[in-house]
Amino acid sequence: MGARILDGRALAAQLRAELATQVAAFRDESGYAPALVVVRVGNDPASVSYAKTIDKSFREAGFGCRLELLPDDATVAQLGAVLERLSADENVHGAIMQRPLPGHMDADAVMSKFPTAKDVEGVTALNMGKLMLNTGNYFPTATPSAAITLLKHAGIPLAGKHAVVAGRSNILGRPMALLLLHENATVTICHSRTRDLGEITRQGDILIAAVGKANLIKREMVKPGATVIDFGVNFPDGGKMRGDVDYEQVKAIAGAITPVPGGTGPVTTVMLMYNTLQAAKNQRSNGQ
């Protein structure tokens, strides 16, 4: 029997419908829409396309959305000034810093200027630190929290399960491992120096692929019946979008699997919406 497909598009549509009621209630009470600003330096094609998707989705869901675009040769100081202005602007509730940044910009220096209260992607040091400490009252990193949402809506138990996370980047693997730990999974993190990746991934009741290598995870690397979450967005040889998991092979033995495209991506956008609405509520109750 083939794997159950964890359909991110269907879940995102359901969540957007629920969110629409909450956004309408917020607009009625406050008299304004929760608003997101996407900040970009230059015109990296994937970032341009992603910003268009975000803009369309947010507007359709009743949010405000606009772009702050800086030229390729902007300095960290110029970008910092924009971030400071957005931080002070009470009409802006959430903000996203698009990556990659141009090579001359130090990403850590930029993110240190990013307003934490508006960090709806959950990527600033303060939000990451709160995630680490599991203090509550923070924005969990958007893409990993989309995976947790998919797993929970599918009714897949996490407590006591062995979750193997392949990848340890700050935006995916690391926060994913922490979120799974907070759900009481037993977590193993793998990376490029891991010896015999397949030996370890085969132990996962839950397997998360966040490596950025098309079709790296093959059938023999997956435990039969495992739940497989694929974050990969790869375009090998400029062709069709592929995940990090060899989907056709793995879906034959997995218990459940996310497709690419149509898995974690659409749910991530909804997580950004939830966080933007929450940021607007927080700022309203703080009188900001």
Using CB under 6 A as the binding rule, the residues of this chain from 160 to 189 that contact ligand NAP are: 166-169, 171-173
User: How many whole angstroms separate alpha carbon 33 and alpha carbon 281?
Assistant: 11
Residues in the chain, how many? 288
- 94 contacts 37 by C-beta, under 8 angstroms: yes
Residue 193 engages ligand NAP in binding (rule: CB under 6 A): yes
Using CB under 6 A as the binding rule, the residues of this chain from 219 to 248 that contact ligand NAP are: 231-234
Residue with smaller CB distance to ligand NAP, 152 or 191: 191
Residue 212 engages ligand NAP in binding (rule: CB under 6 A): yes
Site string (20-39) toward ligand NAP, x via CB under 6 A:
--------------------
Write down the least CB distance from residue 174 to ligand NAP, Å: 8
Q: Quick one: which of 65, 77, 140 has its CA closest to 112?
A: 77
Q: Quick one: which of 197, 216, 205, 190 has its CA closest to 254?
A: 205
Using CB under 6 A as the binding rule, the residues of this chain from 125 to 164 that contact ligand NAP are: 143
Residue 265 engages ligand NAP in binding (rule: CB under 6 A): yes
Which amino acid, one-letter code, is at 25?
A
Residue with smaller CB distance to ligand NAP, 122 or 265: 265
Kind plus residue range of the DSSP H or E element containing 97: strand 94-97
Please name the residue that has the structure tokens 């970008």: 79
In the beta sheet, which residues pair with residue 242?
Answer: 234
Provide the binding-site residues for ligand NAP, judged by CB under 6 A. 143, 166-169, 171-173, 190-194, 197, 210-213, 216, 231-234, 264-265, 268
